[in-house]
């Protein structure tokens, strides 16, 4: 399983919190790349509820990780 920023961003609008099967269903319906679906299928814990993409990919950058000041624009 590998995640990139581009792949993980396909799940930003997923219906969080969600279980593995719900995320796979969302990825299929939203037309996410096959790699996203494969990564989700490789998740081992079937019963866990994920609160956000950070629960799946802890290295996913948050808005705080970018040096972008929204007030300037």
State the Cα–Cα distance between residues 4 and 45, nearest whole angstrom.
21
Contacts of residue 62, Cβ cutoff 8 Å, sequence gap at least 6: 54
Structure tokens at 61: 């950058």
| Predicted confidence (pLDDT) at residue 11 exceeds the cutoff of 60 | yes
Rounded to 5 degrees, what are φ and ψ at 43?
-65, 130
Q: Which carries the bigger pLDDT value, residue 64 or residue 26?
A: 26
CA distances from 6 to 3, 33, 48, 58 (A): 8, 10, 24, 15
Domain residue spans of the chain: 17-46
The pTM for the full model equals 0.80
| Predicted confidence (pLDDT) at residue 71 exceeds the cutoff of 90 | no
pLDDT digits (tens, 9 = 90+) for 27-60: 999 999 999 999 999 998 878 999 999 999 888 8
């Amino acid at each position: 399983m590998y995640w990139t920023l581009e792949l993980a961003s396909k799940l930003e609008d997923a219906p969080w919190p969600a279980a593995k099967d719900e995320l796979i269903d969302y990825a299929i319906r939203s037309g996410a790349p096959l790699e996203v679906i494969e990564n989700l299928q490789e998740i081992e814990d079937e019963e866990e509820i994920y609160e956000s993409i950070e629960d799946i990919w802890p290295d996913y950058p948050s808005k705080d990780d970018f040096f972008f000041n929204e007030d300037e624009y």
